[in-house]
Structure 1
């Protein structure tokens, strides 16, 4: 009797050409762990677990797997050892200089929280240590423009949390102001269109004078 298909959605294939492969692997590995536990695959024999992992990882990983060198021949059927080799492949040693360069070149994008998440993710790779919050704060101040930047520069004791709060409030206020402005413009248009409609009493008088 054929085994029932798992009702749990499999993780997507791992794209080894991704520009940020280390981060993509961490995300994929987390999804893979959840899938293995939820589907009950983690209770299966090691050989079967490895086959499931390679199947989910996709053809690119299956290709590089053939070139992995293991200490023992049986290690190629051990899911922990296979994932360890894949981690090494996807997480080459990074340069703090390069990662810091990438951090400072992140462009601002709305919504603000998406920009903030990007900065925090990249800051982890820069080894800023105790300076991490200050670096993120400075990057925010340098990246935003106009009125919100002016508000940030006015603060004498500007820490990261205060900078985040100011940017979030400014973004929300700008959104609400835009909504109110658009609603007001719509009301004005409706009123103007209504005022331009022919007056019914005047129309009747014109008809009578015309003998209509």
Structure 2
């Protein structure tokens, strides 16, 4: 029976939003522990594996965490708890809220993508039970369509699900109207293209050069470029010749 080698989680990223980076690392770490059954091994091995995973840049922080005694250095649960407190405590909530409150829908940005951006940003703001209300408010304030914004402001008892449904429906309707308008413009261009118009042809009755009927175009006249059998001159027949017989 072949053994599956499970790679170590990536090192803990100490740059940017430390809370989010820790949550990502913790998820990978827990998965690694489950797949390798690391939690069934000696605690020293668990600690050594964790230290290896967090990476060399995190070692100084690791060694200076507020351990209560020497034994804490060897307890994986205590180490994880101290790291979590450190990472969450170092999140600047004011700055995270500043970034959240400045989120707006970019030009050509799909509404679903805009909502995901707001949800991710709000997750670091510690709004608690107010999170959905804050996201709703940012949608109303930051949505690109002024018509949709007006509709949201006119809606009574607007909660987040209702707000999202209105915006999605408006986006779909706008795309459909644009598609219909573009198609109508193409049909109009084909119907009214001057090159496709059929002009009524003009005719000459009893042509003064040939005596026949034909289109009002000298090139269409049977006598054009023909010599008269009566006088020998060009571009008319004898029946219309004005030269008198000698």
Q: Same fold, TM exceeding 0.5?
A: yes
Distance 1:75 1:177, change over 3 A: farther
Q: Note the aligned Cα RMSD (angstroms).
A: 3.5
Distance 1:93 1:11, change over 3 A: closer
Q: How many residues align?
A: 187
Counterparts of 1:1-212 in structure 2, within 5 Å, are 7-17=5-15, 19-92=16-89, 97-109=94-106, 110-146=109-145, 147-173=147-173
Gaps of 5+ in 2: 187-246
- Deviation for aligned residue 1:120: 3.0
- Deviation for aligned residue 1:174: 5.2
Structure having greater relative contact order (Cα 8 Å, sep ≥ 6): 1
Task: Decide which structure has the larger Cα Rg and report it.
Answer: 2
TM-score (norm 2): 0.61
- For 1:179 and 1:31, how far apart are their aligned partners in 2? 45
Moved more, 51-60 or 124-133: 124-133
- For 2:184 and 2:52, how far apart are their aligned partners in 1? 57
- Deviation for aligned residue 1:133: 2.6
- For 1:60 and 1:135, how far apart are their aligned partners in 2? 36
Higher percent of residues as helix? 1
- For 1:131 and 1:6, how far apart are their aligned partners in 2? 45
- Deviation for aligned residue 1:176: 6.4
Gaps of 5+ in 1: 187-212
Distance 1:58 1:178, change over 3 A: farther
- Deviation for aligned residue 1:139: 0.7
* Structure 1 counterpart SS, 2:77: helix
